C-alpha cells in the first residue's frame, strides 16, 4: 500500500480495511503485546471494583435491602476512591499507548515498508517519543480541550435555535480529525505543538500550498462512516448485557412479589463479563478510526506526494529482473 497519495472519500474508507487485511495480524499482535496487559488490568479492576456499586445503584431500592445507595457509598468511600484512582491511572496509560501506537506503527511502516514490524521496535519508538508525548498531552489538556469545550458549548447553546444541532454534527467529527491530525503531524515531523496544531486546523479546509478543492467533506464523511461502523459493532456487545438485565428486572417486577438484586448470581457475573468484553472491543475497534485518520493525514501531505512521484520516476528502467 502506498501511503502518501491522494485519496477520495471512498478510497479512504476502503483503504482502511485494506490496511488491516494486509497488516492486521502483525498490527494487532504487537498492539496486544504492548497494550494488552494494561487493557486487561483496567477492565478487571473496573469490573470487580465497581460491580457492587452498580449492584447497589440498580438493586438497592428494588431489592428491599435495609440500606440505601447513599449509606453504601459512605461505608465504602475509601475503596471506591482507590478503585477510581487505579482505573484513572490505567485509563491514562491505555489511552496514551492506544493513541500513539497506531501513529508510530504507520510512521514506521510508511517509512520502511517493512510489514514484519517487531514489538521491540515499537517499544523503542514509544520510549524515544515519550518526551514529545508528554508535551503533546499537556498541550491537549490545557490548549485544545478548553478551546474544544468552548466550541462544543456554543454549539449546544445554539441547539435551541435548531442550527446548533447541525453544528454539532459538523463540529464533533471535525474536532476529532483536528486532534488526530495534530498527533500524526507532531510525531511524523519535528514541528512544535502549536505549529502542528496550526497544520491540523488548516489541512481540514484546504491542501497546503495548492489550489485544489477543499478536502473537508471527504475527511468529515470518512470519519463519520468509520465512527458509525465502530459504534454498530460495539453496540452489539453493549446491548446484550443491557437486554439481559432489563429482562431480569422486568421478571422481578412481574414476579410473586419476592424482591432480589437484578445483578445477583450468575446473571450479574454474565453482565459484567460481557460489559468488560465490550470495553476491550471498543479499544480495539478505535484502531480503525485512527488508521483512517492516518490515511487522511497522508492525503493532506501533498509535499510528500511529489517526492514519492519523483522517486518512482527515478526508478523506472533501473530494475533488473
**Contact indicator for 55, 268 with CB cutoff of 8 Å:** yes
Q: Alpha carbon of 181 to those of 91, 92, 172, 184, 320: distances in Å?
A: 22, 20, 14, 5, 39
Any domain includes 202 = no
Any domain includes 193 = no
pLDDT digits (tens, 9 = 90+) for 55-77: 666 555 444 454 555 666 666 67
Amino acid 15: pLDDT: 97
Amino acid 319: pLDDT: 35
Any domain includes 185 = no
Question: Which triple of cell numbers denotes residue 143?
Answer: 490548549
Q: How many CA atoms lie within 13 A of 198 on its CB side?
A: 6
Amino acid 268: pLDDT: 66
Q: Give me the number of domains the chain comprises.
A: 1
Backbone angles phi, psi at 112, to 5 degrees: -105, -30
Any domain includes 191 = no
**Contact indicator for 109, 1 with CB cutoff of 8 Å:** no
**Contact indicator for 234, 281 with CB cutoff of 8 Å:** yes
Any domain includes 308 = yes
Cα 314 to chain centroid, rounded: 39
Dist CA 220 CA 173 (whole Å): 6
Amino acid 311: pLDDT: 47
Any domain includes 255 = yes
Amino acid 41: pLDDT: 83
Give residue 288's domain range: 9-129+216-315
Query: What's the DSSP call for residue 163?
Result: H
Cα 61 to chain centroid, rounded: 36
Judge residue 99's burial from the number of C-beta atoms within 10 Å of its C-beta, 0-12 exposed, 13-18 middle, 19 or more buried: buried
Residues in the chain with pLDDT values less than 70: 49-76, 240-241, 244-245, 248-269, 306-321
Per the listing, cell 497519495 goes with 5
Any domain includes 124 = yes
Per the listing, cell 510528500 goes with 304
Query: What's the DSSP call for residue 115?
Result: S
Any domain includes 270 = yes
Amino acid at each position: 500500500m502506498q501511503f502518501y497519495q491522494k485519496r477520495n472519500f471512498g478510497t479512504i474508507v476502503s483503504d482502511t480495511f485494506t490496511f488491516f487485511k494486509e497488516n492486521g495480524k502483525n498490527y494487532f499482535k504487537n498492539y496486544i503485546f504492548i497494550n494488552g496487559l494494561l487493557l486487561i488490568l483496567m477492565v478487571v479492576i473496573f469490573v470487580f471494583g465497581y460491580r457492587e456499586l452498580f449492584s447497589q445503584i440498580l438493586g438497592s431500592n428494588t431489592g428491599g435491602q435495609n440500606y440505601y445507595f447513599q449509606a453504601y457509598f459512605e461505608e465504602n468511600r475509601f475503596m471506591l476512591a482507590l478503585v477510581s484512582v487505579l482505573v484513572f491511572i490505567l485509563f491514562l496509560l491505555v489511552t496514551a499507548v492506544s493513541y500513539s501506537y497506531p501513529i508510530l506503527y504507520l510512521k514506521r511502516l510508511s517509512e520502511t515498508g517493512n510489514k514484519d514490524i517487531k514489538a521491540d521496535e515499537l517499544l523503542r519508538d514509544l520510549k524515544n517519543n515519550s518526551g514529545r508525548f508528554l508535551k503533546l498531552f499537556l498541550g491537549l489538556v490545557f490548549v485544545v480541550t478548553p478551546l474544544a469545550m468552548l466550541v462544543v458549548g456554543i454549539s449546544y447553546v445554539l441547539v435551541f435555535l435548531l442550527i446548533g444541532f447541525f453544528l454539532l454534527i459538523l463540529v464533533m467529527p471535525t474536532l476529532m480529525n483536528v486532534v488526530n491530525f495534530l498527533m500524526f503531524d507532531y510525531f511524523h515531523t519535528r514541528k512544535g505543538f502549536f505549529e502542528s496544531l496550526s497544520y491540523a486546523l488548516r489541512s481540514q479546509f484546504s491542501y497546503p500550498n495548492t489550489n485544489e478543492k477543499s478536502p473537508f467533506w471527504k475527511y468529515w464523511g470518512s470519519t463519520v462512516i468509520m465512527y458509525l461502523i465502530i459504534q454498530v459493532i460495539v453496540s452489539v456487545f453493549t446491548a446484550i448485557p443491557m437486554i439481559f438485565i432489563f429482562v431480569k428486572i422486568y421478571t422481578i417486577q412481574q414476579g410473586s412479589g419476592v424482591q432480589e438484586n437484578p445483578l445477583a448470581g450468575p446473571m450479574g457475573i454474565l453482565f459484567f463479563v460481557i460489559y468488560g468484553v465490550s470495553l476491550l472491543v471498543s479499544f480495539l475497534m478505535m484502531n480503525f478510526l485512527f488508521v483512517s485518520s492516518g490515511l487522511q493525514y497522508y492525503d493532506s501531505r501533498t509535499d510528500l506526494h511529489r517526492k514519492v512521484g519523483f522517486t518512482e520516476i527515478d526508478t523506472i528502467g533501473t530494475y533488473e529482473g
